């Protein structure tokens, strides 16, 4: 049960922060950058930078404003966000199972429906640079409509039950080659692949000690490895035959330089702006 604040009272303020630009009949406009079609993974550079949760050390995580800031700054070529499922089946952008850590409320995310979600407000961390106002966490549909085709997206399916709904949202917008669908479970990645999606699987340093990622190369498009893994484990991942191997969650120049030297071709970072500034000052790109 949601605690602390009445959702109905908060819902009256839901229009204060618009989350989606709309066109005729309330539809989101097709991004101008599409041209003949959306931007896809084929356009990614040799070394790719990913804004993890939008860049959680620089912006409010998993917020529309934070994702917009990361997009507009241009310091990452991929925007990452997490997804959860509401009680009525609506996929929303949120990391935790409960509201407690990042909002003014408490209780399980899955306990809410779409109408009640209108009353949820994010609580920006005090230590974030800049000034950020509270806002409602977006739905997955809103993020796809705002950014789909303009930049490659990476979404983690925290609740595997949402996979069919996520696939429908992605395919309906023509974004099957523009959105990585991430999970810690290789079997969820296999399902995503069979649904025609770009399948990503992330693994911890401990898991990588015993993983044999070459077994997944027929259905995994992106292997997301923990930068704290041993050199030998990272090298085995890089040599697995999986097309892309990116390392998470990188926050320092030294961490980035190590994983790139070992052959990773992307970094997933909470601080894309800081790493980009360091690269401009002469660090390895």
Q: Is residue 161 part of a domain?
A: yes
* Neighbour-count burial for 154-188, b at 16+ CB within 10 Å, e otherwise: bbbbbbeebbebbbebbeebebbbbbbbbbeebeb
* Neighbour-count burial for 257-266, b at 16+ CB within 10 Å, e otherwise: ebbbebebbb
Predicted local confidence at residue 251, as pLDDT = 97
Q: Is residue 139 part of a domain?
A: yes
Which three-class secondary structure state does DSSP give residue 103?
strand
Average pLDDT, the chain: 89
Judge whether residue 8 has pLDDT over 80.
no
Strand partners, 84: 92
Q: Do 120 and 5 contact (CB within 8 A), yes or no? A: no
> Tens of pLDDT along 158-172?
999 999 999 999 999
> Tens of pLDDT along 171-197?
999 999 999 999 999 999 999 999 999
Predicted local confidence at residue 9, as pLDDT = 41
Predicted local confidence at residue 4, as pLDDT = 45
Predicted local confidence at residue 254, as pLDDT = 97
In terms of pLDDT, which residue wins out, 17 or 130? 130
The end-to-end CA distance of the chain, in Å, is 47
Give me 162's structure tokens: 């949402």
Predicted local confidence at residue 33, as pLDDT = 53
Q: Is residue 26 part of a domain?
A: no
Q: Is residue 28 part of a domain?
A: no
Q: Is residue 260 part of a domain?
A: yes
- Residues 109, 112, 116: CA angle, nearest 5 degrees: 125
Predicted local confidence at residue 35, as pLDDT = 62
Q: Is residue 24 part of a domain?
A: no
> Tens of pLDDT along 21-78?
333 344 445 554 556 679 999 999 999 999 999 999 999 999 999 999 999 999 999 9
Judge whether residue 18 has pLDDT over 90.
no
> Tens of pLDDT along 220-279?
999 999 999 999 999 999 999 999 999 999 999 999 999 999 999 999 999 999 998 777
Predicted local confidence at residue 277, as pLDDT = 79
Which DSSP string corresponds to 165-201?
A: HHHHHHHHTT-TTTEEEEES-HHHHHHHHHTT-EEEE
Q: Is residue 16 part of a domain?
A: no
Judge whether residue 99 has pLDDT over 90.
yes
Q: How many domains does the chain have?
A: 1
Judge whether residue 17 has pLDDT over 60.
no
Range of the domain at 79: 42-280
Q: Is residue 25 part of a domain?
A: no
User: Beta strands 48-51 and 78-85: pairing type?
Assistant: parallel
Predicted local confidence at residue 37, as pLDDT = 75
Q: What is the CATH number of the domain that holds 108?
A: 3.20.20.190
User: What integer is the mean pLDDT of 88-116?
Assistant: 98
Distance CA 6, CA 20 (A): 25
Q: What is the pTM of this model?
A: 0.88
Which three-class secondary structure state does DSSP give residue 207?
helix
Judge whether residue 151 has pLDDT over 60.
yes
């Amino acid at each position: 049960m949601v605690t602390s604040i009445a959702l109905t009272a908060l819902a009256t303020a839901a229009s204060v922060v618009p989350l989606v630009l709309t066109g005729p009949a309330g539809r989101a406009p097709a991004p101008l950058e599409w041209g003949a079609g959306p931007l896809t993974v084929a356009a990614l550079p040799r070394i790719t930078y990913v804004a993890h949760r939008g860049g959680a050390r620089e912006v409010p995580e998993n917020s529309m404003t934070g994702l917009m800031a990361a997009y507009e700054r241009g310091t990452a070529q991929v925007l990452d966000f997490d997804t959860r499922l509401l009680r009525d089946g609506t996929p929303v952008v949120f990391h935790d199972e409960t509201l407690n850590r990042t909002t003014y409320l408490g209780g399980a995310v899955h306990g809410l429906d779409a109408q009640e979600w209108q009353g949820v407000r994010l609580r920006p961390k005090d230590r974030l640079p800049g000034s950020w106002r509270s806002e409602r966490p977006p739905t997955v549909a809103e993020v796809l409509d705002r950014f789909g085709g303009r930049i490659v997206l990476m979404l983690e399916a925290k609740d595997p039950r949402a996979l069919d709904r996520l696939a429908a949202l992605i395919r309906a917008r023509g974004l099957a080659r523009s959105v990585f669908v991430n999970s810690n479970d290789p079997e969820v990645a296999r399902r995503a692949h069979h649904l025609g999606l770009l399948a990503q699987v992330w693994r911890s340093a401990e898991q990588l000690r015993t993983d044999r990622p070459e077994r997944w190369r027929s259905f995994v498009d992106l292997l997301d490895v923990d930068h704290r893994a041993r050199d030998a484990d990272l090298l085995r991942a890089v040599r697995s035959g999986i097309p892309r191997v990116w390392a998470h969650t990188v926050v320092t120049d030294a961490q980035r330089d190590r994983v790139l030297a070992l052959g990773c071709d992307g970094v997933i970072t909470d601080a894309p702006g800081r790493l980009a500034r360091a690269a401009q000052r002469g660090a390895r790109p």
